[in-house]
């Protein structure tokens, strides 16, 4: 490999840290994992060439501690840092601090992070260059006249944090009376999460899709790698993503993908990035935001393009030009990703905690399981509820849906409640199968997305299995000699 990094630090945890480790191994680059005490047994810590414990008031605080991470980089003579997603991945100050220490941030420039990280600035930037953005107004929650500023906009509206993104810091407002209090809460949340209380109000399209486009830039040129359909969401968080989108025809696909590449090009973008759009039922699309990092759902693009996006990020950061021209891009088949989350999906998606007593990963042709899960892992609410991602690739969308259903059934995770049954219910829903959905899917079909039921024989099998696997029964069976059991003394 011609890359000039000798050692890269992975500034993250969980499935994505392991995913980046695989890319480093493939490129023959030495790896450093950093971990909070609670993750000390995780696979990335075991498998990285070096692993360093980080400390903080909370596990998240440890992963956000820039000076601690930079000090580790310097001590271990790390050439570059991969931030993955979340934590410091879109923190321009982190990128700058690394730069000042002569360490490469594997991602775009701090300027690009700042431009796109601020939702108000990025929307203005995109609109000024002639790309479509949704109608919006910037507001100050402390301004007593702020409700009047949106007098011309039709409800519902969505309040978003300027420093937000990825579904965080968003609330829908249905009437003017709710606006003031929602703004206040949104501003306070925004200040707490992002240290920036600026919010804006955007027209909310009740029946729109969320379609995003993967781009790759090397600072000189930008190409797109096609779109991802990410409309299946709960609480503004994606749970099922696929590529390509079943909604676009070839002309629309070309339009939206070229717009995305154009926006990234205007920003002089380098590294992997994602341009997110709202796509309305009238076939219009509007720029929402650009994410300047690797996305959770990047595998669906990798599956249909055959391009390893994390390796591409590393090569670009090392100064290599893009290996691919736009006209060389070929996509093949259909890929779907399901996010496996620790939650009670049929009961308001409330987070679940527990311990991984047993794990059997699904496997087979076209199946990929990106996970940092391990046996005896304690699942807490200290981190995001996403546990793993299951990705399938098949020749057609229909086949991919079927393969995903089978793979979810193959996956065995005992000890913490997950949304697997819910994901299976979505995959079986006729509207999903038809490709007829928008970001309101999970709310619209809430009554039809019901927990599985058992017919009588299934229930008998379950109860028999429960009884015979119950530790107290096993003790009893072992302690009771067969001849006595056979003549009925077994009854207790």
Partner 1 sequence: MQPQYTLNEQSHQVTPVRRADNITLDIDGHPVTVQLHWLDRHHAELLINGKTRQVYAAQDDKRLFIHLDGQTWHLEAQDEFSTGSGGGAGSGRLSAPMPGVVIEVSVAVDDEVNAGDTLMLIESMKLQTEIKAPHDGRVSAVGFEAGASFDKGALLVDITANETAEEE
List the catalytic residues: 293
Binding residues for partner 1 (CB under 8 A): 57-58, 167-168, 185, 188-189, 192, 235, 349-355, 357-358, 360, 380-382, 385, 408-410, 412-415, 417-418, 420-421, 424, 451-452, 457-473, 477, 480, 482, 485-486, 488, 490-492
Alpha-carbon distance of 30 to 247, in angstroms, equals 42
Among the listed residues 76, 387, 27, the one whose alpha carbon sits nearest the alpha carbon of residue 11: 76
Taking a C-beta distance cutoff of 8 angstroms, is the pair 231, 436 a contact? Answer: no
Secondary structure E strands in 297-434 = 334-341, 343-344, 350-351, 354-355, 358-360, 367-371, 378-379, 386-394, 412-414
* Closest to partner 1 by CB, 50 or 402: 402
Query: Checking phi first, is residue 333 left (phi over 0); if not, alpha (psi -120 to 50) or beta?
Result: left
Among the listed residues 75, 63, 68, 71, the one whose alpha carbon sits nearest the alpha carbon of residue 38: 63
* Closest to partner 1 by CB, 114 or 343: 343
Alpha-carbon distance of 179 to 140, in angstroms, equals 12
* Closest to partner 1 by CB, 234 or 315: 234
Alpha-carbon distance of 292 to 275, in angstroms, equals 9
CB of 204 to partner 1, least distance (A): 18
* Closest to partner 1 by CB, 434 or 455: 455
Q: Which residues contact 76 (CB under 8 A, 6 or more apart)?
A: 7, 9, 32, 50, 52
Q: Can you read off the two tokens belonging to residue 293?
A: 């990092």
CB of 171 to partner 1, least distance (A): 9
Among the listed residues 421, 419, 444, 422, the one whose alpha carbon sits nearest the alpha carbon of residue 431: 444
CB of 259 to partner 1, least distance (A): 30
* Closest to partner 1 by CB, 10 or 387: 387
CB of 303 to partner 1, least distance (A): 23
Alpha-carbon distance of 19 to 35, in angstroms, equals 15
CB of 484 to partner 1, least distance (A): 9
């Amino acid at each position: 490999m011609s890359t000039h990094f000798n050692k890269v630090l992975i500034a993250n945890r969980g499935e994505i840290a392991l995913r980046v480790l695989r890319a480093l191994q493939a490129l023959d680059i030495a790896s450093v994992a950093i971990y909070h005490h609670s993750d000390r047994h995780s696979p990335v810590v075991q498998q990285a060439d070096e692993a360093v414990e980080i400390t903080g008031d909370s596990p998240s605080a440890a992963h956000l501690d820039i000076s601690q991470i930079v000090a580790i980089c310097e001590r271990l003579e790390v050439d570059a840092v991969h931030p993955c997603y979340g934590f410091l991945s879109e923190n321009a100050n982190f990128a700058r601090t690394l730069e000042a220490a002569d360490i490469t941030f594997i991602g775009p420039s701090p300027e690009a992070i700042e431009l796109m990280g601020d939702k108000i600035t990025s929307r203005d930037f995109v609109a000024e260059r002639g790309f479509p953005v949704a109608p919006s107004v910037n507001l100050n929650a402390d301004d007593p006249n702020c409700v009047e500023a949106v007098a011309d906009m039709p409800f519902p509206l969505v309040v978003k944090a300027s420093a937000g993104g990825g579904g965080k810091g968003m609330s829908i407002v249905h009437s003017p009376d709710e606006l003031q209090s929602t703004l206040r809460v949104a501003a306070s949340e925004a200040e707490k999460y992002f240290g920036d209380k600026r919010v804006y109000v955007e027209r909310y399209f009740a029946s729109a899709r969320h379609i995003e486009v993967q781009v790759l830039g090397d600072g000189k040129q930008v190409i797109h790698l096609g779109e991802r359909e990410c409309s299946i969401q709960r609480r503004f968080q994606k749970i099922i993503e696929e590529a390509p989108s079943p909604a676009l025809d070839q002309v629309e696909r070309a339009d939206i993908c070229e717009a995305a590449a154009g926006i990234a090009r205007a920003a002089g973008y380098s590294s992997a990035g994602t341009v997110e759009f709202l796509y309305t039922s009238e076939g219009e699309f509007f720029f929402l935001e650009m994410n300047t990092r690797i996305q959770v759902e990047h595998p669906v693009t990798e599956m249909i393009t055959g391009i390893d996006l994390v390796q591409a990020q590393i090569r670009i950061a090392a100064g290599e030009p893009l290996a691919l021209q736009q006209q060389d891009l070929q996509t093949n088949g259909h890929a779907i990703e399901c996010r496996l989350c620790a939650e009670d999906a049929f009961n308001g998606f409330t987070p679940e905690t527990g311990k991984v007593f047993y794990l059997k990963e699904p496997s087979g042709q076209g199946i990929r399981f990106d996970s940092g899960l391990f046996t005896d892992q304690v699942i807490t609410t200290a981190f995001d509820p996403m546990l793993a991602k299951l990705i399938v690739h098949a020749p057609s969308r229909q086949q991919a849906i079927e393969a995903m259903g089978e793979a979810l059934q193959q996956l065995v995770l005992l000890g913490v409640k997950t949304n697997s049954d819910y994901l299976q219910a979505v995959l079986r829903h006729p509207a999903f199968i038809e490709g007829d959905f928008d970001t309101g899917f999970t709310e619209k079909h809430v009554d039809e997305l019901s927990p599985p039921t058992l017919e009588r024989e299934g229930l008998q099998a379950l109860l028999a299995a429960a009884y015979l696997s119950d530790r107290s029964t096993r003790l009893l069976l072992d302690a009771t000699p067969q001849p006595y059991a056979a003549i009925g003394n077994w009854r207790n």
